[in-house]
A = this chain, B = another copy of it.
């Protein structure tokens, strides 16, 4: 076997691959797929360029693997919305988890953002497949809540878009946010954002008294 496959990996192999993936995440999230070079990734990973290729075969493969391995964790907050819970609480929890992910995983957020911004050439299938299915399912739950009068009447798909947009904004466009706010520290910024979003969504989603 001339290529390191993903099937049966030794501990060392898994660690090396992880180091490369982290270095690649740094590079890709800042410069995009074309902007990041194998050279840079290799240097940051502390190994030679051919060694990186030895482990992944190509730059593209690293990028794709990153996206795929992150998709699961990326969607988990949405997946965890429970039809059994309290509607407003469930959605607020979702909003806050997404915001926390923006704070703790900004590189991953930017990786997805650039990918989709550029047309999602290697994610398109997932988008209209798994993602659409999951979103439709949760949209149904939200619709039911609205119909039962436990939540404001609102388009559930666009509601989900708005949550994505507002929470990811703090990671993807942090440079702009920080420039406008005058470079606040991370804790303060995300604390303010949390308060704002909570308040905002409570207002928008609380069912109107009849």
Footprint of B on A, CB under 8 Å? 30-35, 110, 113-114, 116-120, 124, 127-128, 131-132, 135-136, 152, 154-155, 157-159, 161-162, 164-166, 168-170, 172-173, 175-177, 179-182, 192-193, 195-197, 199-200, 203-205
Docked pose: A207 CA to B202 CA in angstroms: 14
Query: Other CB < 8 Å A-B pairs besides A158-B192, A158-B197, A162-B166, 15 of them?
Result: A30-B118, A31-B118, A32-B114, A34-B35, A35-B35, A113-B172, A117-B117, A119-B175, A131-B180, A132-B179, A135-B180, A152-B203, A158-B196, A162-B200, A204-B204
Residues of B within 8 A of A117 (CB): 110, 113-114, 117, 172-173
Number of copies of this kind of chain in the complex: 2
Q: A31-B34, A124-B179, A179-B127 are in contact. Are A193 and B119 (CB under 8 A)?
A: no
SS of A interface (majority): helix
Contact, CB under 8 Å: B192 / A200: no
Contact, CB under 8 Å: A131 / B179: yes
A-B contact pairs, 12 of them (CB 8 A): A31-B34, A32-B34, A34-B34, A114-B117, A117-B117, A131-B179, A135-B180, A154-B196, A154-B200, A155-B196, A158-B197, A162-B169
